[in-house]
């Protein structure tokens, strides 16, 4: 018998950046627990393919395109979700950008601003638009997909790390603001996961070997390793968790 603590039947969930990788895994796992899921990314046809597979497997999903760098599109995503599925119960801010690899001193200002807008400000836009539905129900779960880049220094993805640390603080601040309305907000900080987004890292044999040797579990992550954590945070099983960052990294950040 399945535990009712993880049951999300009837809940409406938006998952940004969910056409592939970690976002797709989260959307699929939420749907398996009964949630009605919005598959969203910049490329609508790919979102429609993912939604069709979820629906074909007995779940419920719709595809809504959205470029998170555009505030109007973020507002439309929330409004269209409401129109098609109903008030929002779960928001997963997964979509993010990392357009620059290199030292901070050589990073153009416009690149830095793009990272901050896509990885922090867009989350604020989406949260602000979704919170009224959750407040009306006195219940809601918000999840931001951060990164262990937010708790470690890095010589090549500094702006990304700064943005991910800011997401953790955003969750702490909003947990205090939204807690009285029983709205929980947490972040998940994955380590290296085998996704297209992180391909530049895991596809480098020297870097991969170094990471495998430094990880107590001696492996990198798969998208499925993150989906289940999102289910925990979105469901009654995580009802007493807010303002926290759950690190899922094979133990890299605790190893010497």
Choose the catalytic residue: 100, 101, 160, 207.
160
What are the tens digits of pLDDT across the range 95-108? 999 888 899 999 99
User: Between the CA of residue 57 and those of 14, 18, 61, 230, 249, what are the distances in Å?
Assistant: 19, 17, 11, 20, 30
Using an 8 Å Cβ cutoff, are 156 and 183 in contact?
Answer: no
- What pLDDT band is residue 202 in, cutting at 50, 70 and 90? low
Which is more confident, 204 or 48?
Answer: 48
| pLDDT > 70? residue 82 | yes
Dig out the tokens for 157 from the structure. 């993805």
pLDDT attached to residue 256: 74
Per DSSP, the three-state class of 125 is helix
What are the tens digits of pLDDT across the range 16-58? 999 999 999 999 999 999 999 999 999 999 999 999 999 999 9
Domain architecture of the chain: domains with CATH: 4-195+223-246 (3.40.50.720)
pLDDT attached to residue 195: 80
Which is more confident, 1 or 38?
Answer: 38
The question of whether 160 is a catalytic residue gets the answer: yes
pLDDT attached to residue 196: 74
| pLDDT > 90? residue 88 | yes
Q: What percent of the chain clears pLDDT 90, i.e. is strictly above it?
A: 85
pLDDT mean across residues, the chain: 95
What are the tens digits of pLDDT across the range 172-201? 999 999 999 999 999 999 999 988 777 767
């Amino acid at each position: 018998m399945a535990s009712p603590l993880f049951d999300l039947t009837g809940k409406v969930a938006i998952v940004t950046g969910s056409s592939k990788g970690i976002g797709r895994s989260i959307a699929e796992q939420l749907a398996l627990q009964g949630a009605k899921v919005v598959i969203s990314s910049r490329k609508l046809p790919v979102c429609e393919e993912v939604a069709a597979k979820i629906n074909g497997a007995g779940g419920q999903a719709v595809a809504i395109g959205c470029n998170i760098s555009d505030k109007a599109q973020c507002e439309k995503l929330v409004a269209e979700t409401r129109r098609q599925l109903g008030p929002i119960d779960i928001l997963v801010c997964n979509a993010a950008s990392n357009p620059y690899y290199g030292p901070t001193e050589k990073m153009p200002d416009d690149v830095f601003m793009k990272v901050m807008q896509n990885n922090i400000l867009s989350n604020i836009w989406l949260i602000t638009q979704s919170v009224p539905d959750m407040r009306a129900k006195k219940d809601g779960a918000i999840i931001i997909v951060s990164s262990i880049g937010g708790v470690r220094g890095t010589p090549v993805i500094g702006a990304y790390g700064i943005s991910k640390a800011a997401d953790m603080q955003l969750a702490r601040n909003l947990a205090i603001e939204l807690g009285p309305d029983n709205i929980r907000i947490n972040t998940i900080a994955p380590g290296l996961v085998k996704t297209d987004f992180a391909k530049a890292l895991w596809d480098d044999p020297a870097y991969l070997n170094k990471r495998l040797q430094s990880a107590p579990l001696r492996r990198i992550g798969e998208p499925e390793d993150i989906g289940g954590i999102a289910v925990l945070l979105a469901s009654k099983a995580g009802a007493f968790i807010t303002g926290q960052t759950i690190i899922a990294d094979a133990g890299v950040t605790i190893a010497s």
